[in-house]
Structure 1
Amino acid sequence: RPGLHPCVACPETIAAHDIQTQPTQGKGDDTAVNGIRLHCLPRSKTYPEHTITSSQGPWGSWTSPFWCHNGNYLTAFTLKVKGSQGHGDNTAVNNIRFSCSDGQLLAGVGHLWGSYGAWSQPCTHGVCGILTKVQGQQLFGDNTALNDVQFYCCANANAK
């Protein structure tokens, strides 16, 4: 059963993301996207550049980051999700897309399974936080890893 993990936030706006994804396992158990990592880019010298993640599953490896261009920042997202397969192999989140403040679109390199949902409402001052819902490892069941994610908007323009 998936559990919610703590919300983690950047003191300044997030300008990039990467995903932890498991390659296709053939006849094995696929989990697809296991985690999402956000890159906090300082707009001043007050904070160092760093990454945050709420939680992630144990499978797969991290991709290279996808950056917004020229000081722009993440503002909205859409998840690619594969619904329940009944007795088939469930994967839940298979990819993510973000839009940047200049309209640039960033897509992860997840899996083709599932379909994208509606875009989130845009964050006027950018995305500043993440909270994930991750299924723990199932000893005798179907592992799905990342099941859902919530992003939090920066409260004001000073976060940029």
Structure 2
Amino acid sequence: MYRFISMTVISLLVILGPHVSIQSSLGRHERSITRSYISVMTVSNGMHWGSWGQEEMCPTGTYAAGFSLKVEGTQGDGDDTALNGIRLHCIDPSRNSEYSHKHYSTVQSEVGSWGTWTNIKWCSSGFLKTFQLRVEQSQGKGDDTAANNIRFTCSNSGEILDGSGLMWGDWSDWSYTCQGKGICGIKTRIELPQGSGDDTSLNDVTMYCCT
């Protein structure tokens, strides 16, 4: 995406380190932001393959009001991985919604190797407050996909935003509801490519709640 970054920007990245952000048409991508949170939100049906990435937080003062998914479509007789990544899109609550949805920051933890990103789904008002994860349990000698989809509720309207993932597996119970302003960070569990083995990619996710 950033193959045409100028040498000036590259020099700044070297001098200032990984906390520098770059503005793009998709929003500002932040990495490894240090930010306090009041609670950790999990679900009980995540799978165990792979390793946890690091937590990635929305910039201070912003909260997740939308999300997008990296999804691999059905592969027929091939190896399905389904959900490969989750992005949170974070806005400043002091801005009106029309402005905020044009000026936002994007954060993600580890992401799998397959699939394409879906369009962003936004809360009509408020922020993401709780989530469910759709997960296929172990298929034994069959094709495992682990996590397939995610959905969120929004704080002000109570609306449910369904992700554009796949249909295998079952929905978890709803996670703990964020008692702060909204979800502000994410951590994902990803299985690396298995070569000739069975790939599952995204297995589980943790969300963080901030005041």
Q: Which has the higher helix share?
A: 2
Q: 2: CA distance between counterparts of 1:85 and 1:126?
A: 35
Amino acid aligned to 1:51: T
Aligned pairs (5 A) from 1:10-159: 10=58, 11=60, 12-44=62-94, 49-70=104-125, 72-101=126-155, 102-124=157-179, 125-154=181-210, 156=211
Q: Which has the higher strand share?
A: 1
Amino acid aligned to 1:145: S
- Give how far 1:152 is off: 0.5
- Give how far 1:43 is off: 2.0
- Give how far 1:60 is off: 0.3
Counting matched residue pairs gives: 153
- What are the Cα deviations for residues 14-56 of structure 1, in whole angstroms up to 9, with x where unaligned? 10001000010000000000000000111247x9621000011
Amino acid aligned to 1:43: P
Unaligned runs of 5+ in 2: 1-48
Unaligned runs of 5+ in 1: none
Q: 1: CA distance between counterparts of 2:167 and 2:185?
A: 27
- Residue aligning to 1:4: 52
Amino acid aligned to 2:82: A
Which has the higher Rg, Structure 1 or Structure 2?
2
Q: 2: CA distance between counterparts of 1:40 and 1:117?
A: 24
- What are the Cα deviations for residues 86-122 of structure 1, in whole angstroms up to 9, with x where unaligned? 0100000010010000201000111111110100011
- Give how far 1:140 is off: 2.0
TM-score by length of structure 1 reads: 0.92
- Give how far 1:3 is off: 0.8
Q: 1: CA distance between counterparts of 2:54 and 2:169?
A: 27
- Residue aligning to 2:22: none
* SS, match of residue 149 in structure 1: strand
TM-score by length of structure 2 reads: 0.70
